[in-house]
Amino acid sequence: MSYNLLKGKKGIIFGALNDMSIAWKVAERSYEEGAEFILTNTPVSMRLGSVDELAKKCNTEVVAADATKDSDLENLIKIAMEKYGKLDFVLHSIGMSPNVRKKLPYDQLSYDYYHKTLDISALSFHKVISQLKKHKAMNDWGSIVALSYVAAQRTLYGYNDMADAKSLLESIARSFGYIYGRESRVRINTISQSPTMTTAGSGVKGIDGLMDFTERMSPLGNATALECADYCITMFSDLTKKVTMQNLFHDGGFSSMGMSLRAMTQYNKSLDIEIDE
C-alpha cells in the first residue's frame, strides 16, 4: 500500500545488504511511497550482498562508498546532487564491531578494534552529516535517521563495544541535530529498533534466546524490519517536522517494560514456579 508520503522526495540510503536488512526494507517502502534515492554500501558489502537486485527493483543505482571515508562520501553526495539536486532524507544503517567478530570480550578488547567500532558505527554518522552540511546537500526540513539499539541505555550480555558505539551514535544525533537544526532546519533522530534477525543481528551472541525474551516482554512483540521501515517513512515525511534530537523506541513496548506476565511465566518454568495469571 502506498500513501505517496514521500512523493518528490530524494534521499540516500546507507546499509542495505540483503532482503533481511532494515535498510533494504526502508528502500522498498520509500520507493513505494514515491521517493527517489541512491543506495550505497561498502564495496565488500556490495559483493557479499545483493543490493544490485534492490537497485533494479527501486529503479535506481548503487554507489559504492565507505562511510568512514570523507572522499567516498563527497563522491557519493556529488553524484546524488547531480542526479537530484538537494536531498530530503538520509538513512544511516551501519554498524560493525571487530571486537565482536573476533570474540574479544569487553574487558579484554583491542583498542584498535574499539576505535574501528566507533569509527564505523558512530563516527561514520558524523562524517555523513558533516559532508551533507558542507555541500549544502539537504533541503530545509530534511530528515536524517540512524538506527540504534536499547543497548545504548542498558547493558546486554555479549553486545560488547557496540553498546558504547550506539551511545555515541545517539549523542552525535543530538549534537549535530542542534547545529544542523538551527542552521538549516534539518532534523536528526535515531530509531531504537527491537533486536532483528538481520545478517548483522544474527551475529549477536545468544540472539535466539534474547529475541524470545524480548518477544514475550513486549506487549506488541518484537518489531520487524518491515515495520521499522514503515516507521522510518513517517520520520522522513513532512508530518514529523518538529521531531529532532530524539531517540525513538520502535520495539513493541520493550523499553518501557520491567516484567511481563508472559516473560515471567516462561522464566518461572526454569524455576518450576507456577504463576497465577
Residues between 124 and 143 that touch a second copy (CB under 8 A): 126-127, 129-130, 133-134
CB half-sphere exposure, 77, CA atoms < 13 A: 24
Window 76-115: contact mask with a second copy (x via CB under 8 A): -----------------------------xxxx--x--xx
Of 8, 59, 82, 256, the residue at the interface with a second copy (CB under 8 A) is: 256
Angle at CA 156, nearest 5°, toward 151 and 162?
50
For residue 49 the three cell numbers come to 550482498
Residue nearer to a second copy on the CB measure, 49 or 93: 93
Residue 52 or 212 with smaller CB distance to a second copy:
212
* Closest among 85, 93, 98, 84 to 40, alpha carbons compared: 93
* Footprint of a second copy on 34-73 (CB under 8 A): none
Q: How far is the CB of 234 from a second copy (least distance, A)?
A: 4
User: What is the side-by-side order of every strand in the sheet holding 87-92?
Assistant: 62-64, 36-41, 10-14, 87-92, 138-148, 187-193, 247-250
Q: Which stretch binds a second copy (CB under 8 A): 40-48, 56-64, 81-89, 169-177?
A: 169-177
- Please work out the total of residues on this chain that contact a second copy, with binding judged by CB under 8 A: 105
d(CA 145, CA 125): 9
Cell readout for 4 is: 505517496
**Number of Cβ atoms within 10 Å of the Cβ of 176:** 21
- Residues 171-230 binding a second copy (CB under 8 A) are 171-172, 174-182, 185, 187, 194, 205-206, 208-210, 212-213, 218-221, 223-224, 227-228, 230
